[in-house]
Amino acid sequence: MAKIKNVEAFCKFCGAIRKMELTGDVAGDDNKRWAKCKKCKQTMIISISDDVVSQKVSLDGIENETYVTYSPTQSYEVGQNIFHENWNDFGKVVSKEILSNGQKSIMVEFQKLGNKKLIESFIKQQTDQDKQSEVI
Ligand SMILES: [Zn+2]
């Protein structure tokens, strides 16, 4: 199983907070991890307690937890596990957003595909004919 853990941490090469991928443990020190900066591609040891500003949800083993199969017409909660059938990928809802057209969307962190924006509560646009036939 792919072990993906993304964090935002201070990159000493960039001198800024960057998105990083944790690539491995440091033997004998639980607080340190090998991390690769997604911006400068440098690999370094970071301190979980000092350098990490936000730790993304752990996706380890979520396929064994309760999950729902994604459908654009459903709505979801932050923290919910979802399974995307077409992509055959499990993910966790990390945030929700309303798009400029009023459509609701969710940001999902997937095990294999990473961050993806998906539509939720999708409502089919009414056609003109539907509107005309509406009787109030
Ligand atoms: Zn960097």
**Which helix (H) or strand (E) is 74 found in, with range?**
none
* Calpha distance 99→32 (Å, rounded): 38
CA of 13 to the centre of ligand 1 (A): 5
CA of 22 to the centre of ligand 1 (A): 13
CA of 14 to the centre of ligand 1 (A): 4
Instruction: Name the residue among 21, 19, 48 with its Cα closest to residue 32.
Output: 48
Beta strands 43-47 and 29-37: pairing type?
Answer: antiparallel
Q: Are 42 and 36 in contact (CB under 8 A)?
A: yes
CB-based contacts of 16: which residues, under 8 Å, 6+ apart?
A: 10
**pLDDT tens track of the chain, all 136 residues?**
345 478 889 999 999 999 999 999 999 998 899 999 999 999 999 998 888 876 666 788 899 999 999 999 999 998 899 999 999 999 999 889 998 889 999 999 999 998 899 999 997 766 655 555 555 5
Beta strands 81-84 and 68-69: pairing type?
Answer: parallel
- Architecture category of domain 6-55 in CATH: Roll (2.30)
Domain boundaries, the chain: 6-55, 62-120
- What's the pLDDT at 56? 60
102 residue type, one letter? G
CA of 17 to the centre of ligand 1 (A): 8
- What's the pLDDT at 108? 93
- What's the pLDDT at 1? 35
Q: Are 81 and 64 in contact (CB under 8 A)?
A: no
What is residue 101's three-state secondary structure?
coil
* Calpha distance 65→75 (Å, rounded): 19
- What's the pLDDT at 48? 84
CA of 51 to the centre of ligand 1 (A): 13
